[in-house]
Amino acid sequence: MSGSHMSNEKEHKSPRESGEDSEDESEILEESPCGRWLKRREEVEQRDVPGIDSAYLAMDTEEGVEVVWNEVQFSERKNFKAQEEKIQLVFENLTQLEHPNIVKFHRYWTDTHNDKPRVIFITEYMSSGSLKQFLKRTKRNVKRLPLQAWRRWCKQILSALSYLHSCSPPIIHGNLTCDTIFIQHNGLVKIGSVAPDSINHHVKTCPENIKNMHFFAPEYGASASLTPALDIYSFGMCALEMAALEIQGNGDSGNIVTEENISKTIDSLEDEQQKDFIKRCLHSEPQERPTARELLFHPLLFEVHSLKLLAAHCLAKNTGNCA
Mean pLDDT of all residues belonging to the chain: 80
Which residues of the chain are in CATH 3.30.200.20 domains? 28-124
Query: What mean pLDDT do residues 200-208 have?
Result: 45
Residues with Cβ < 8 Å from 127, sequence gap 6 or more?
A: 66
Of 121-125, 170-174, 191-195, where does the model show the most confidence? 121-125
The phi, psi pair for 129, rounded to 5°, reads 95, 180
pLDDT tens digits for 61-99? Answer: 999 999 999 988 776 676 677 777 777 888 888 888 999
Query: What mean pLDDT do residues 103-111 have?
Result: 91
Whether the predicted pLDDT of 155 surpasses 80: yes
Query: What mean pLDDT do residues 158-165 have?
Result: 96
* Model pLDDT, residue 207: 44
How much of the chain, in percent, has pLDDT values that exceed 90? 42
Whether the predicted pLDDT of 198 surpasses 70: no
* Model pLDDT, residue 252: 53
* More confidently predicted of 167 and 156: 156
pLDDT tens digits for 208-245? Answer: 555 677 888 888 877 657 789 999 999 999 999 999 99
Whether the predicted pLDDT of 11 surpasses 90: no
Nearest to 239 by CA among 195, 197, 289, 194: 289
Which CATH class for the 28-124 domain? alpha beta
Q: Are 51 and 72 in contact (CB under 8 A)?
A: yes
Segment among 136-145, 146-155, 200-209, 217-226 with least mean pLDDT: 200-209
Query: What mean pLDDT do residues 262-290 have?
Result: 95
* Model pLDDT, residue 231: 94
Segment among 47-56, 223-232, 286-295 with least mean pLDDT: 47-56
Distance CA 248, CA 243 (A): 12
Whether the predicted pLDDT of 319 surpasses 70: no
Say if pTM beats, i.e. exceeds, 0.85.
no
Return the percent helix, strand and coil in the chain, to nearest 5: 40, 15, 45
CA end-to-end span of the chain: 71
* Model pLDDT, residue 293: 96
Residues with Cβ < 8 Å from 233, sequence gap 6 or more?
A: 215, 216, 217, 218, 281, 282, 283, 286, 289
Q: How far is CA 104 from CA 37, 67, 94, 241, 274, in A?
A: 15, 10, 9, 25, 30
* Model pLDDT, residue 73: 79
Identify the band that residue 7 occupies on the pLDDT scale cut at 50, 70 and 90.
very low
Peptide bond into 169 cis (omega under 30): yes
Distance CA 174, CA 207 (A): 15
Distance CA 179, CA 192 (A): 9
Identify the band that residue 45 occupies on the pLDDT scale cut at 50, 70 and 90.
low
Of 75-84, 175-184, 282-291, where does the model show the most confidence? 282-291
Distance CA 75, CA 117 (A): 8
* More confidently predicted of 257 and 196: 257
Q: Which of the following CATH numbers is that of domain 131-307: 3.10.20.600, 3.90.1200.10, 1.10.1330.10, 1.10.510.10? A: 1.10.510.10
Which residues of the chain are in CATH 1.10.510.10 domains? 131-307
pLDDT tens digits for 297-318? Answer: 999 998 765 455 556 556 665 5
Residues with Cβ < 8 Å from 121, sequence gap 6 or more?
A: 70, 72, 91, 94, 105, 106, 107, 108, 109
Whether the predicted pLDDT of 277 surpasses 60: yes
State which amino acid sits at residue 118.
R
